[in-house]
């Protein structure tokens, strides 16, 4: 077992808890997807589980050791965290960005050298993005930048990689590229991966386990095939859905199709209607 969270709870000061008594375990080579609607604390959960935020209650363990007590260099030699991608205020190439992943392993005044550059070139070649070595990150597409950030995280050969919405804002082509890379590095290379996502279909396609939050702070956790069913997804997202399954190129493919909005209690929500006076009225 690589990561374990025991009874994790979190709430910002003077507010109700947004995460309540979460517990789960994750083993080598497994992918965990974290799902839930906006504002339920998915990014907060990722930060708490690796010590970027302190749990209000509960603990996280890496290889059985309380993360709160771990030396930061030891922790980040085994764990890589990729926040949601964004633009940069300065010009930096793809290669330079990947080299930055070695910063935690350098001394205070030490500059990256040929060793670090060689490591960056090697990992970029492994995942097929060496063409981006000299490209300005601010001129990259969303998919290109996401692949560079994953390379930056992989340069240290971590045991656990955390990805905050790695496929958000990407077109279908780039979503598949990113998801295929996550699946390959977990199921072929044995890296443990945790992915925060808004897309149940993407979670179904690559994850082994799923943890799904809802707006009350409650959660469900277990095997993806057991958790991502129509009842659980509808309850969490307040949307009626259909989970479809079909065969393609010799493998089973599942997709989640949103049908209609509900009121959170399983009843259809009528939404808005157009009145005779062409004013929009909420029912």
Please indicate, yes or no, if residue 277 is contained in any of the structural domains.
no
DSSP state of 276: T
Q: 60 and 50 in contact (C-beta within 8 Å)? A: yes
Quote the CA–CA distance of 94 and 140 in Å, as a whole number: 9
Quote the CA–CA distance of 3 and 24 in Å, as a whole number: 8
CATH code (residue 107): 3.40.50.300
On the 0-12 / 13-18 / 19+ scale of CB atoms within 10 A, 215 is middle
Q: What is the CA radius of gyration of the chain?
A: 21
Counting the structural domains of the chain, the total is 1
Residue range 68-105, pLDDT digits in tens:
999 988 898 899 999 886 666 678 999 999 998 887 66
- The reported pLDDT for the residue numbered 273 is 42
- The reported pLDDT for the residue numbered 103 is 76
Partners of residue 57 on adjacent β-strands: 9
pTM to 2 decimal places: 0.87
The helix, strand and coil proportions of the chain, stated in percent and rounded to the nearest 5, come to 35, 30, 35
Please indicate, yes or no, if residue 283 is contained in any of the structural domains.
no
- The reported pLDDT for the residue numbered 265 is 62
- The reported pLDDT for the residue numbered 278 is 45
Residue of 98, 96, 78, 94 whose CA lies nearest to 152: 98
Q: Which domain holds residue 175?
A: 3-237
Please indicate, yes or no, if residue 251 is contained in any of the structural domains.
no
Quote the CA–CA distance of 58 and 45 in Å, as a whole number: 12
DSSP state of 112: P
Residue 162's contacts (CB-CB under 8 Å, 6 or more residues apart) are 46, 49, 50, 79, 80, 81, 82, 193, 194
Please indicate, yes or no, if residue 209 is contained in any of the structural domains.
yes
Quote the CA–CA distance of 3 and 48 in Å, as a whole number: 12
What element of type H or E holds 252? Answer: strand 251-261
- Digits of tens for pLDDT over the chain (283 positions)? 999 999 999 998 888 888 999 999 999 999 999 999 988 999 999 999 999 999 999 999 999 999 999 998 889 889 999 988 666 667 899 999 999 888 766 655 567 788 889 999 999 999 999 999 999 999 998 889 999 999 999 998 999 999 999 998 888 988 999 999 999 999 999 999 999 998 999 999 999 999 999 888 789 999 999 999 999 999 899 999 999 988 888 888 889 999 999 876 656 645 444 444 444 334 3
Please indicate, yes or no, if residue 106 is contained in any of the structural domains.
yes
Please indicate, yes or no, if residue 270 is contained in any of the structural domains.
no
- The reported pLDDT for the residue numbered 85 is 65
- Polymer length of the chain: 283
- The reported pLDDT for the residue numbered 108 is 56
């Amino acid at each position: 077992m690589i990561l374990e969270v025991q009874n994790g709870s979190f709430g910002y000061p003077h507010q109700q808890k947004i995460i309540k008594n979460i517990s789960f375990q994750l083993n080598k080579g497994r992918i965990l997807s974290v799902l839930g609607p906006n504002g339920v604390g998915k990014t907060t959960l990722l930060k708490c589980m690796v010590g970027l935020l302190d749990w209000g209650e509960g603990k996280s363990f890496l290889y059985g050791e309380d993360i709160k007590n771990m030396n930061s260099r030891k922790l980040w030699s085994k764990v890589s965290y990729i926040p949601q991608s964004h633009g940069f205020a300065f010009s930096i190439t793809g290669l330079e960005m990947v080299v930055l992943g070695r910063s935690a392993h350098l001394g205070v005044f030490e500059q990256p050298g040929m060793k670090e550059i060689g490591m960056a070139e090697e990992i970029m070649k492994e995942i097929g993005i060496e063409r981006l070595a000299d490209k300005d990150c601010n001129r990259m597409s969303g998919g290109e930048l996401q692949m560079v950030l994953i390379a930056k995280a992989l340069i240290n050969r971590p045991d656990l990689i955390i990805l905050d919405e790695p496929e958000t804002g990407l077109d279908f082509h780039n979503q598949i590229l990113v998801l295929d890379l996550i699946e390959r590095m977990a199921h072929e290379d044995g890296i443990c991966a945790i992915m925060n996502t808004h897309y149940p279909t993407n979670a179904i396609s690559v994850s082994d386990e799923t943890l799904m939050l809802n707006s009350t702070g409650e959660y469900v956790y277990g095997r993806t095939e057991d958790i991502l069913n129509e009842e659980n997804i509808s309850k969490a997202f307040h949307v009626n859905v259909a989970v479809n399954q079909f065969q393609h190129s010799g493998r089973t493919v599942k997709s989640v199709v949103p049908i209609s909005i509900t009121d959170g209690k399983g009843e259809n929500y009528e939404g808005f209607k157009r009145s005779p006076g062409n004013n929009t009225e909420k029912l």
